[in-house]
Amino acid sequence: MPNIVNTSMSALLGLLGGTGALLLVGCKSMPTLEQQEQLVQAGNLVLDQITSRAVVNAWGGPPFYQSEFAYFFVMPDLSIIPRSRVATGEVPKGWRGGVHAAEGVYFAYPDRGWLLVFLDERLVYREKLQPHELRALTNGWAYEARFKTKVEDISRP
């Protein structure tokens, strides 16, 4: 019996070790802040490779900003789409059922035509929008803000 347990444990450890090595090889390192700023200046908004700080350093503070607890559709390629960017009652094409919930930070840059969404300081969603679309979005944020209570502001981390 001890040989079976040892053999099983060895096989399991070997499998986990191989999986860990694949994960390490597959992980991308985060570019330096300077490199991120260069990407932003060049208009190369690479998901999971740019922080909100790099965007602010390169483009200045966003004219419109929203921070809220939100739901996100997780796509098969592991990209995410904010629920707010999908029509009510609809799901994104190709979605398989993954959902993530977290505090999302939304930056709107109407002069550049970009809506950027960050989770844990990393750019996770970007969408090129027309000025009137961004204006409608930011007007919605302003409308919602009128109904927030002080309790909601205090409860934020």
**Range from 5-14, 109-118, 135-144 that averages highest in pLDDT:** 109-118
List the chain domain ranges: 1-30, 31-154
Tens digit of pLDDT for each residue in 19-42? 333 333 345 589 999 999 999 999
User: For residue 78, what are its two tokens?
Assistant: 């592991």
110 in Cβ contact with 125 (< 8 Å)? no
Give dist(CA 29, CA 51) in Å, integer: 13
pLDDT of residue 71: 94
Beta bridge partners of 101: 71
Q: Give per-residue pLDDT as tens, 45-90.
A: 999 999 999 999 999 999 999 998 999 999 999 999 999 899 888 9
Q: Output 21 or 4, whichever has higher pLDDT.
A: 4
Neighbours of 35 (CB within 10 A): 13
Helices (H), strands (E): how many in the chain? Answer: 5, 5
Nearest to 136 by CA among 104, 110, 107: 110
Which burial class, exposed, middle or buried, applies to 105 when counting CB atoms under 10 A from its CB (0-12, 13-18, 19+)?
A: buried
CA angle 116, 118, 124 (to 5 degrees): 80
The predicted structure's pLDDT at residue 27: 52
Between CA 128 and CA 57 the distance in angstroms is 20
Mean pLDDT of the chain: 81
Closest CA to 104 of 79, 86, 87, 82: 82
Q: Is the pLDDT of residue 118 over 60?
A: yes
Q: Distance (Å, rounded) from C-alpha 115 to C-alpha 19? A: 36
